[in-house]
Structure 1
């Protein structure tokens, strides 16, 4: 993919929308375009977090391993960012991301991603907003799951 179209893609992603185009050029230049086949894993739960991904085309599922198998917790679409938690918290990957269609993404290395957060407060704010939305969704799912479990344990 050409640099200009990568810059246009980055500008369309809320995380990068407020960044000056000349600075986006540096991000696009340091990022790597990667392609995945349907079913292929972008990152696996427990692995070291070495990069974040911005989906360009295609879709992916985010799943967490449970005793009963993998549990899908989110569906990603173009423009979504994934993999930032492992980078920001310096912890192993918290989930597995698997392409559900053919997929292309920009892979932003850990060092470049951390530089973005340091240089651009608006990026840090957008990351916090995205994480807060995910946490809210997770809390809602936990309440639903608990209500189902309690409901199943009740005599009819």
Structure 2
């Protein structure tokens, strides 16, 4: 894929939709493009967060380890960002993300991620929207779980 094709792909991701093409070209050029085979791990729960990933193609599963085994909490696809919580909160990875099918992703280092947020506040707004959406979905799942386990 050419740099121009990557720029076009990035423009179709809501997180980057309002960023000028020249800046997206810089992002595409300074990011590392990685490929993962099915079951290969993009990031592992508990590891230090040194980068975020943007899924360009394919599907990945987000799993959280619990005492009774791993639980899949989400599926990610084209345009989804993963790994940003560990970077933003400076905490270990909160989940393990692995490819369900072949995945192509852009790896954005912590330094580049913060530079983008500083230069383009709309990226921070989109990240907040995404995180708020995830929190709402998690709360809904928790409500459902509590309702199902409550005595009838």
Which category describes the TM-score, using the shorter chain as reference length? over 0.9
Q: Pairwise CA RMSD of aligned residues? A: 0.8
Hey, what's the Cα distance between the residues in 1 that align with 2:115 and 2:91?
18
Q: Which runs of 5+ in 1 are unaligned?
A: none
Hey, what's the Cα distance between the residues in 2 that align with 1:50 and 1:108?
9
Asked which structure has the greater CA Rg, the reply is 1
Hey, what's the Cα distance between the residues in 2 that align with 1:74 and 1:41?
15
TM-score (norm 1): 0.95
Deviations 1:18-74 (A, max 9, x none): 111111111111101100000000000000111111111110011111111111111
Following TM superposition, the consecutive aligned residue runs of length 4 or more in structure 1 with deviations greater than 2 angstroms are none
State the match for 1:52 in structure 2.
52
Following TM superposition, by how much is the alpha carbon of 1:9 offset from its aligned partner in structure 2, in angstroms? 1.2
Deviations 1:68-119 (A, max 9, x none): 1111111001111111111111111011001000111111111001111111
State the match for 1:149 in structure 2.
149
Task: Check if 1:28 corresponds to 2:28.
Answer: yes
Partner-residue secondary structure (3-state), 1:15: helix
Alignment of 1:77-88 (within 5 A): 77-88=77-88
